[in-house]
Chain A
Amino acid sequence: MRTSIGVLVLSAVLLPAPARAQGEGGMQFTAGGTAAQQIVHSHVDPANDRFSGLVLGAEGGLVSNHFVVRLRYGEGRVNPQSGSTAAARDVVEGEALVGLRATPWLTLWVGPSARAYTTADGDQRWLVWSGRVTGRGTLLPGRMQTFVELWGTFSGNVGDPPLKASGRGANGGLELRLGESSSFWGRLGYRIESTHAEGLRETVESLTLSVMYGLPQ
């Protein structure tokens, strides 16, 4: 948790840098912090457990006319529902994606994403390579927009020795400018990811609230 707070503080400190870079050329930066309430459905045959907890994180983006880069990192702790015998998990997750802006409203992405958590039996790491497509729609120009993102894996693995993993996910929400001509945006999002391997399935739902500097792409 301390690391999470450190990441948030760091991103807040670094905000002035992207602020200076905005508008100096065709390249733009976005940066922000995210708080996510996660619900994890974990299936390890034959057991089914459900966890929930808060994950804090940061994200940043690099945006040009045609290409986009997105980095996301978060960590937190999810606790089992009352009555469960499962142990709480410390969660770390992240992704690094490169995107092509096919049209102003459609972006195609590719890149790795990972999720790891620690249990009493040891660490479990999910690493998948995915292709994604994001569509955006404008509700009020310059003030409010929506987005929906879908993804599926090309390849992936989990555990040691590694098991072949696959999965898919979706993400959607609403972005709202915080003020008439502010550079800050707020985002309300819902994300669901489901990855599975032999005898394992992890489904993670996240209700996210984010504050970002720069126009989200």
Chain B
Amino acid sequence: MIAAAGLLALAALGAQLRSAPPDAALVFVSNERSGTITVIDGRSDQPIQTIPVGSRLRGIQVSPDRRTLYIALSDTASRVQGSGDGVVALDIASRKIVARFDAGSDPEQFSVSPDGRRLIAANEDAGTASITDVVRHSVIATLAVGIEPEGVAISPDGRWAYVTAETSNTVTVVDSRRARVLSSFMVDPRPRAAAFAPDGLVAYVTSEIGGSIAIIDVPKHRVRKIVALRDAAKPVGVIVAPDGKRVYVASGQGNRVVVLGRGGEMIGSVLVGKRPWNLALTTDGRKLYTANGVSNDVSVIDTAALKVIATIHAGEGPWGVAVASPK
């Protein structure tokens, strides 16, 4: 029975791999409390569909080929791994869920490797990071990281994964090719998310209670600089512009997106909806989307003008946002 289900899932995955990437930008929002995905037309910035998924939705990522949307699900009732825990694959063309992957217990944030073959997920309650091979459809490694792991980012060359951990205030460096832990280092209290610059030489880690961003020297895996944020920011999500010149930070309880230069210099900030958690950029970097967890909406920012140009109603508790842009 289980084997048959697995074959069915693999067949479905094969089918979705043949589907065409979208010819227009689509924006997907994971709604944590309502268990749905809100689909937004990236041209009109209007919601066009709500996809019920169920369970507790958090991390959301688009595959490098832009054909597949991955969404992390967690059981709402249990703090141990249950049937509700996993990562599902949604075929963007058909908007159907076509596969489900084991990603350890309580997967929250995850990242997709640049070759699209692996997912690395933070397992918050287990204190581990799981590496899932999406082709073989199995977890190939479970690695001990810090306490209460949260954020995951993979370097542009696919070599390194940074896994943040909120209680231990650490970032663990995973050699993703060898599927093992290389080292760990400390950042300010309660690190949440990490993002690499496109050149892979620096990375950025937000610390919610520290109210700061750590700029990481990636070749050395060491903190190069700590940038304290103003306006009582509680930084959460972070994303780097495609040209690497700007870093956008969701300030959580600060209700703003803070914009920094590559070296951490302040460029500006934009007031958005309540409690922006996570961010996504269009491929050209011209529009930034924020998932606002308390106001149940998405703010769209014109990054040239640094102004909100649209506010889009989403489901209950928007947590993550991902953009599938045409190349």
A and B: bona fide binding partners = no
Residues of B that sit less than 8 Å from A by CB: none
